[in-house]
């Protein structure tokens, strides 16, 4: 099966040449590893989901096999989003972000290939996540993605989300761990290690 690298597919999404240059030339400021997980950076809101109200940027690390439907790491990746403001980001805002982001990405890639995802199925569920420290700002989520990078098949994603206000910088950092695998699958050990290593931009 021919795979479509995300770096090529997302060229169509770049709203300006400067936005593309930012992605192409970016140095990681938050997700500095793993080195074998491909790195990308995009503005927020991205070109495929301009109705997202946040402003800032995201960094992504894609697991080896991210776009291989036969891989255990299919659609396994980590995101760190850094946006303006410190207003509380709760479950409804995260749900809205996921629905707009995943729908926009699926639809725009699909349009280039003649695939039409069922937009009614983008309906993420976001719930508070219990942690040992009973921390606020921690969530789990379940969301639908259509893999229009390949054949348009439906992918059910599991997520852990951490919202970290950065009061001194007047910013908010949002870390998302994403995979179709169950929460007790071995890949979560590495995803959580990535989360532990995430930095805030200096």
Q: Per-residue pLDDT tens for 97-148?
A: 999 999 999 999 998 889 999 889 999 999 999 775 656 799 999 999 999 9
Asked, for residue 1, whether it belongs to a domain, the answer is no
Q: Which domain holds residue 39?
A: 6-165+174-184+191-197
Asked, for residue 139, whether it belongs to a domain, the answer is yes
Asked, for residue 60, whether it belongs to a domain, the answer is yes
Cβ contact 87:62 at 8 Å: no
Q: Identify the bridge partners of residue 38 per DSSP, sorted by sequence position.
A: 62
Q: How far apart are alpha carbons 200 and 170 in whole angstroms?
A: 12
Question: Does the pLDDT of residue 157 top 80, yes or no?
Answer: yes
List of residues 6+ apart from 202 with CB closer than 8 A:
29
pLDDT score recorded for residue 135: 66
pLDDT score recorded for residue 112: 87
Question: Does the pLDDT of residue 4 top 80, yes or no?
Answer: no
Asked, for residue 202, whether it belongs to a domain, the answer is no
Asked, for residue 14, whether it belongs to a domain, the answer is yes
Over residues 43-64, the pLDDT tens digits come to 999 999 999 999 999 999 999 9
Give φ, ψ of 43 to 5 degrees.
Answer: -75, 155
Report the run of H or E that residue 145 belongs to, with start and end.
strand 138-147
Within 10 angstroms of residue 9's Cβ, the number of other Cβ atoms is 18
Q: What is the mean pLDDT of residues 185-192?
A: 98
Q: How many domains does the chain have?
A: 1
């Amino acid at each position: 099966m021919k795979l479509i690298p995300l770096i090529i597919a997302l060229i169509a999404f770049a709203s300006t040449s400067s936005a593309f240059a930012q992605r192409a030339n970016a140095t990681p400021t938050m997700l500095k590893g793993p080195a074998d997980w491909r790195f990308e950076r995009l503005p927020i809101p991205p070109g495929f989901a301009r109705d997202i109200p946040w402003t800032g940027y995201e960094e992504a690390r894609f697991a080896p096999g991210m776009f291989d439907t036969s891989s255990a790491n299919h659609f396994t990746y980590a995101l760190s989003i850094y946006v303006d403001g410190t207003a509380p980001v709760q479950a409804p805002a995260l749900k809205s972000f996921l629905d707009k982001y995943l729908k926009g990405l699926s639809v725009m890639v699909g349009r280039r290939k003649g695939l039409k995802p069922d937009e009614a199925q983008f309906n993420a569920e976001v719930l508070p996540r219990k942690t040992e420290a009973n921390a606020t700002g921690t969530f789990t989520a379940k969301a639908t993605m259509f893999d229009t990078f390949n054949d348009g098949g439906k992918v059910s994603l599991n997520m852990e989300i951490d919202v970290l206000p950065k009061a001194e910088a007047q910013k908010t950092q949002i870390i998302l761990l994403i995979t179709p695998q169950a929460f007790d699958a071995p890949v979560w050990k590495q995803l959580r290690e990535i989360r532990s290593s995430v930095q805030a931009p200096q």
